[in-house]
Chain A
């Protein structure tokens, strides 16, 4: 090429474009994935210096071993009743997802997102945090609401944009907002909640409050500027916040390599910011619980933020609008070496002699009935349909501002006249 004239002794540059290991039709081999044994990661003191987390940021905190035993310094020693409750909430989350996914396929709403395989991430956090700690979730943490005991019917009302929807049909399904459950309004824009959570935590600290904040984003959106702004703020002001990165390997069709995973871990992002960083087996609910509890204690004692990478796998599509068989191997999910979070907690409870197959099957049946009954109840308030029947037309103009200014009143009046003229 012309620009290389006279520079022929130099080697040509090469652009590296990441490529996932497996594509549709490929058989899956995870043998080069480094998975340290359960119980091997050390548990640092709550006040450990932020620069002492290098090893943990590249390792993996695991509690449940292959036989279902809870081992090592991170084992949280929770009572069997609590473990059964956590199991139930993970299973309820999965049952809820199944029902709502089907409702979308039946044309009852426009959109749905499951968290299958990632239930432990949100459910464990709900138990490790206090009920009044503030959550700034992404869109796959429905387990927080379910574990905080929020009404399934209320969640479904939002999904159906029906008459019972407290958000008045204004927001895309699953973008819940539940102030009473310490659950911030979900944005469809990625990782915008990160600096917001840091701001909430800073406000809490500035006011001498005792509540902390937690936020979640996917590994893909750690590339957003908001993530880095948030980490900088969190570090600078030692904000009482827990920054969770749910590394489920896939951002729609882009594998984690497009967010940097070929070269480093996401927990290691913390190192550069001077934040405590933990990398956790996200399918091990005891590990997630222990890490979150540790981070909450650290935040509550003014030791600053913690970034936790939850290493997990998105077992299903990104959303109802996605077909993962087009871009990844179908075997990835079944071969995932860290298993399924529900199956693993179940195995642990069985190993403890606190659970059995029969009870599990009965629970699954009961939960399916629970969500079915909730859906029936919610559907009494209507379903999305064509969207025009559940809320008065003029409600479109409400909540733009606290008080409706003249231009919105005028546009509203014009719309109503046009509808009337058209006989609607």
Chain B
């Protein structure tokens, strides 16, 4: 096995691929399945080379039925395997909702712990790639509302690998949403500027071997005093670039796991700064930002010096041509920052 101290430059796809590779090597019960994941290696190449290395009974293509993919994975989990099914786009996950919500998430509870569903459902999510309304959605709030399932969203190659390994090792079902806009490089929200890749980013340096980032631990990306920004996935980079551009001393908290949430880090940060901005790409009403906002006011009300602000996607389907008006980019984040910091 490769040495964990040897680091390599990886983009997020390579880091995710490496996590599955490491886990398949360590645990013969880990299997990978999904549409186009086998010989071809996935439409985003996340499973490239795995079938060749581990064989067709551990890495295989599936029929195009998300309900079937997750249902079959639940049964494999009951047998004793540790399936890592891929749903090709998060927008396609809805046919699998019953199997995720009523089955995978409830199996431990309803069987008194006799049966469990140790699945890790990987799925690219989020917009910013001109994917239109069926290749751009951020449905994480649907899953954070469901008891019995964990929801994880990485923002860098380093985090993606460590979190994915922890998710695969977890004995509960995990929804692992991969922000596809930053698969190849961090994105500052300036869609008219040339794309960057991960080669210059510190978190693009990834150990080759096994390491894990525990689920439920947020990452303070930048310490600061002026306000707290709660975000995850692509938005971490958009927020970081925006506040740096404005020269604001913000504390940026990358949640990394939405359920279970790292409430301690959030609470400590908001109590310190007294102001809170929440940024996510998902639609606004009943989005995860609403939960964050409620938690912050419940716990930090007497420390708050300004109303909590949310910058989110609008409550519309993801528009194709107007993507950059919908996307919570630097313009919208800047306006929210001005509002929070005006007094």
Which residues does A use to contact B, with CB under 8 Å?
A: 134, 136, 165-168, 170-171, 175, 177-179, 184-185, 187, 189, 192, 194-207, 213, 225-226, 228-230, 232-233, 236, 399-402, 405-407
A229 surroundings in chain B (CB, below 8 A): 63, 65, 67-68, 71
Q: Is the CB of B68 within 8 A of A399?
A: no
Say whether B260 contacts A225, CB under 8 Å. Answer: no
Q: Are A195 and B68 in contact (CB under 8 A)?
A: yes
Check B74 against A196 for contact (C-beta < 8 Å).
yes
- B317 CB-CB contact with A under 8 Å: no
List residues of B whose CB falls within 8 A of some A CB. 31, 57-58, 62-63, 65, 67-68, 70-81, 83, 95, 98-99, 102-103, 107-116, 147-148, 150, 170-172, 216, 259-261, 263
Chosen A-B contacts, 24 in total, with CB atoms closer than 8 Å, are A134-B78, A165-B112, A166-B114, A170-B109, A171-B110, A177-B114, A178-B114, A184-B78, A185-B114, A185-B115, A187-B103, A189-B103, A195-B72, A195-B99, A196-B103, A198-B75, A200-B76, A200-B79, A202-B72, A204-B79, A225-B95, A232-B68, A399-B109, A400-B147
Given B74, B98, B99, B112, which contacts A399 in the complex, CB threshold below 8 Å? B112
Decide: B108 and A203 in contact? CB cutoff 8 A: no
Smallest beta-carbon distance A139→chain B, Å = 13
Minimum distance in angstroms from B288 CB to a CB of chain A: 13
Minimum distance in angstroms from A131 CB to a CB of chain B:
17
- For the complex, give the distance between the alpha carbons of A7 and B108 in Å: 60
Q: Do A233 and B68 have beta carbons less than 8 Å apart?
A: yes
Q: Are A206 and B116 in contact (CB under 8 A)?
A: no
Measured between beta carbons, the chain A residues less than 8 angstroms from B170 are 402
The 4 closest A-B pairs by CB, nearest first: A199-B75, A195-B71, A229-B68, A199-B72
* Residue of chain A at shortest CB distance from B105: A400
- Beyond known contacts A185-B111, A232-B65, A406-B263: 17 more, CB 8 A cutoff: A134-B79, A166-B114, A167-B110, A171-B110, A171-B112, A177-B114, A185-B107, A192-B71, A196-B75, A203-B79, A206-B81, A226-B99, A229-B65, A230-B68, A399-B108, A401-B150, A407-B263
A175 to B78, CA, bound (A): 17
State the Cβ distance, A20 to closest chain B Cβ, in Å: 28
* Closest A residue to B62 using CB positions: A233
> How far apart sit A196 and B68, CA to CA, in the bound complex (Å)?
8
CB-defined contacts of B57 to chain A, threshold 8 Å: 205-206
The answer to whether B63 and A233 have CB atoms under 8 Å apart is: yes
Residue in chain A with minimal CB distance to B101:
A189
A1 nearest CB across to chain B (Å): 33
What chain B residues lie within 8 Å of A187 (beta carbons)? 102-103, 110
B76 proximity list for chain A (CB < 8 A) = 199-200, 202-203
- A47 and B113 CA atoms in complex are apart in Å by 39
On chain B, the residues within 8 Å of A201 by CB distance are 75
Decide yes or no: A199 and B108 within 8 Å by CB, A185-B114, A187-B102, A225-B95 being known contacts: no
Residues of A within 8 A of B150 (CB): 401
CA distance A236 to B63 in the complex (A): 8
Contacts of A194 in B (CB 8 A): 71
Residue of B nearest to A200 (CB): B75
CB–CB B110/A198 < 8 A = no
Contacting residues, chain B, for A179 (C-beta < 8 A): 111, 114-115
What separation, in Å, do the CA atoms of A230 and B70 have in the docked complex?
Answer: 11
A175 touches B110 (CB 8 A): yes
Say yes or no: A399 contacts B113, CB within 8 Å. Answer: yes
Q: Which of B68, B103, B116 has the most CB of A within 10 A?
A: B68
Nearest A residue to B58 via CB reads A206
The reply to whether B110 and A177 form a contact with Cβ atoms under 8 Å apart is: yes
In the complex formed, the residue of A with least CB distance to B95 is A225
In the complex, how many angstroms separate the beta carbon of B35 from the nearest chain A beta carbon?
A: 13
The residue on A at minimum CB distance from B109 is A399
- Please give me the residue from chain B that is nearest to A189 by CB atom: B102
Q: Chain A: which residue is nearest B118 at the CB level?
A: A402
A407 touches B71 (CB 8 A): no
A246 to chain B, nearest CB (A): 19
Question: What's the least CB distance linking A128 to chain B, in Å?
Answer: 21
